[in-house]
A and B are shown apart, each in its own frame.
Chain A
Amino acid sequence: MKKFLASTVAASALALMLGMTSARAEETIDPNARQGGEIIATYKDDVTTLDPAIGYDWQNWSMIKSLFDGLMDYEPGTTNLKPDLAESYEISPDGKTFTFKLRHGVKFHNGREMTADDVKYSLDRVTNPKTQSPGAGFFGSIKGYDDVAAGKAEGLSGVTVVDPYTVKFELTRPDATFLHVMAINFSHVVPKEEVEKYGADFGKHPVGTGAFKLAEWTLGQRIVFERNPDYWHKGLPHLDKITFEVGQEPIVALLRLQKGEIDLPLDGIPPAKFQEVMADPEQKARVVEGGQLHTGYVTMNTTMAPFDNVKVRQAVNMALNKARIIQIINGRAVPANQPLPPSMPGYDKAYKGYPYDVAKAKALLAEAGHPDGFETQLFAMNTDPNPRIAQAIQQDLAAIGIKASIQSLAQANVIAAGGDKAGAPMIWSGGMGWIADFPDPSNFYGPILGCAGAVPGGWNWSWYCNKELDAKAAEADSIVDPAKAGERSKMWSDIYAKIMVDAPWAPVFNEQRFTMKSARMGGADNLYVDPVHVPINYDNVYVKDVQ
């Protein structure tokens, strides 16, 4: 599955850029799919908002994708880009102008047709500081972004409505990730009249062009989605109705699934029950395993002694017994040796990483002038299993003489310590680890390993800033030419290999996702561990007990 993903991504990106058509969108419908039926899915946490400019949670991410559409999307269950609300697009030879032709006859849930004006309005809105969108930063390459962000302009000068079905984007630099940015939730299209009608409460009254529309929202209890009969993508969605019940602890959700009361417990299988479920063949058969665009890592503050010495950081990389750490989470991960996860384009399969070698690690520490080790602090989030993982790391470090005291804190406090230059020598990223916003290697660099993120309040917790790599990253992202997609991917692999020489992180593992479903749920396995429509792709799954 992982190999399949990695190889097809590069190929399809290439084909897509050359072809620039959307003929394949219609091919994605499963011929075995049945139409109709209702399901119940559960989440622990309440859904905060369904506004695509604001929602950035586990619960609402895929819900928003089902209520709204963007110019681009991915083929279900894969990381392969495809046009969505766009029918086709063109990229100028210099990679700085993207022109999208829109589909005709796409309607919002309120019945009005979606046009290029709506696309422009949606982007002006998401970048406007008044919207307070957590995703505004993704649009930094669009001309005029800086003026909008600074409050000097109301709209993006780089977005032009050519005619009702054509919209043109001018960028300040060639941006190879731009098509991904046009697929991310924050760029999804909203109707101006509804946003203005509800104001700040639009997130509770979402109106989009998506496969489902909101039928009911009882705060703190349930959200009900109903099939959008006018959905432009004929044949989708398969389900008539999805009821999301919120406030359900994962353990309670699992018990209800076992009793046949619900179909999808979407917070996954609780760790305490994992082995029990996997030991039962009937239940195990209903568990779908998949990779996700996630890496768990230990950051080392490169501006703080003794982690300012590269040998110390390399020693830590060699000290960690990753296989044992993975046992703590019941084997629900694969060991990581580089920042990128295996299902991400640019992941280097040939790269071996630092071996687990205690003797060598001790030798490196001695070379760095710490033959007897030193004392330091390891920050970690205080929810299970992170304190247990931190303890395992603590023991591994003790084996080479590093005495790390664990600072187990609430998520927000760990994030605050990481964003303070003198805050945290080491952080275990669990519970806060990077999950890519879109399947492109660049997404693991800028905010968490690039100089831009090494600022107070940033996410580059190792405060690693390598100007040379920053330049290389910018160079790689300027390769928009489809014929050079492979070259770009290779450049990114090199960047991450160089990062690993400097070792600001000790990558520990890539979490696997396990989605459990009821026996009546149908559809390809990869829909249940969709790498982009996280956690699952609601539009394409179906139930087998109808018709």
Chain B
Amino acid sequence: MIAYLGRRLIQSLLILLGVSLITFALLYLLPADPVRQIAGRSATPQTVENIRQQLGLDQPFVVQYWHYLVKLVGGDLGRSYIQRSEVTELIVSRLPASLLLMVGAILCELLIGLSMGLIAAVKRGTATDQTLMVASFVGVSAPQFVVGLLLLYVFAVRLSWFPIGGYGTWRHLVLPSLTMGILGAGWYARMMRSSMIDVLRQDYVRTARAKGLARGAIIFRHALPNAILPVIAMIGIDIGIFMGGIVVVESVFGWPGIGQLAWQAIQRVDIPIIMGVTLVSAFAIVLGNLLADIIAPFIDPRIKLR
């Protein structure tokens, strides 16, 4: 176990290093010049050169990357080119909102996805099953931008059940979580359905039925706990999907998280912020995967860590 953990940690660090190198290289190769974004349109060529020098952007790629890494090891993500604030401060101030949204989204997708999958499995082959599976397919394929605006229009504008965008109370959290959750719910419904069908075919379920146990008791006490485990293990992997989704969903709902920060930074070629958010997201994904792998054997004894 310890050896496994050590190996995985080294792997994770290498992945993060790779992500930082690729992102840094891509941003370096971008034809857009960040210095001109900072200098503005009235700047003289001399001002532009001054700024380039001060930011060290006149240095060769390897030198720039090395300087970035050295600072990164010390926990310094640099200062935003446009906002001139510490990137760490900007990310830290927005991280709680993104984490909250993620928790909300996970709750939504589990609640919706697992119930849909359970019902579909129990009602396997009926019209209910087919309707639910079509619905899950729509959920998986609908663009989040559209889902978000649709939910906003129906539940916030028309019905006034929830506020129209913003941040602060649990009521603000519902619609963005739902928007993110619907995507995952589709996947979970399908996974839950097949997992449940598998379990319902098992001998012990047949035994329980033969003993004359009530249908509800069989499903909820015997089948569900076993069917749900492999599905739950997927949450760690979900984090990657969430990281992609928050950019869109946070923009639609005016949710002050790191997705919104990244989107605004990309538009302005604010390289330190783009780097910072990418690294934090990559870290979250790597961590999520690692946790999922570590938890897996506890949930399903058939899985062994090697």
Contact = CB atoms under 8 A, between A and B. Distances in A.
A25 to B, nearest CB: 28
B38 A219 contact: no
Interface stretch (B9-17, B39-47, B116-124, B209-217): B39-47
A203 B256 CA distance: 20
A132 B164 contact: no
Contacts of A49: 82-84
Interface string A116-139: 000000000000011010111110
Contacts of A221: 167, 256
Interface residues of A, number: 54
A219 B94 contact: yes
Given A48-B83, A413-B32, A459 B41 contact: yes
Nearest to A411: B267
B32 A252 contact: no
A204 to B, nearest CB: 6
Contacts of A410: 32, 267
Interface in A142-161: 149-151
B185 interface: no
A437 interface: yes
B93 A219 contact: yes
A255 B260 contact: no
A221 B79 CA distance: 20
B157 A412 contact: no
A247 interface: yes
A144 to B, nearest CB: 15
A457 B84 contact: no
Contacts of A136: 42-44, 47
Interface in A388-427: 410-413, 415-417, 419
B83 to A, nearest CB: 4
B131 interface: no
Contacts of B254: 245-249, 252
B222 interface: no
Contacts of A308: none
A129 B41 CA distance: 16
B33 A137 contact: no
A157 to B, nearest CB: 18
A173 interface: no
Interface string A248-270: 11011001101101000000000
Contacts of A90: none
Given A149-B50, A437-B42, A457-B45, A46 B252 contact: no
Contact of A249 (B153, B252, B267): B252
Given A249-B252, A455-B45, A255 B152 contact: yes
A140 interface: yes
Interface string B137-155: 0000000000001001100
Interface residues of B, number: 57
Interface string B154-172: 0011001001111100000
Output the residue of B43, B93, B264 with the most chain A CB within 10 A.
B43
Interface in A275-303: none
A231 interface: no
B152 A132 contact: no
Contacts of A46: 83, 260-261, 264
Interface in B215-260: 250-257, 260
Contacts of B41: 134, 447, 459
B31 A252 contact: no
B30 to A, nearest CB: 8
B126 interface: no
A203 B84 contact: yes
A203 to B, nearest CB: 6
Nearest to A186: B42
Given A219-B93, A248-B254, A149 B36 contact: no
Interface of A: 45-46, 48-49, 51, 54, 56, 129-130, 132, 134-138, 140, 149-151, 200-201, 203-204, 218-221, 245-249, 251-252, 255-256, 258-259, 261, 410-413, 415-417, 419, 437, 447, 455-459
- List 4 tightest A-B contacts by C-beta distance, closest first: A134-B40, A412-B32, A220-B256, A129-B50
22 contacts: A46-B83, A46-B260, A129-B47, A129-B54, A134-B41, A136-B42, A137-B44, A140-B44, A200-B84, A219-B94, A220-B260, A245-B166, A247-B255, A247-B260, A248-B166, A255-B156, A256-B165, A410-B32, A413-B30, A415-B36, A419-B36, A457-B36
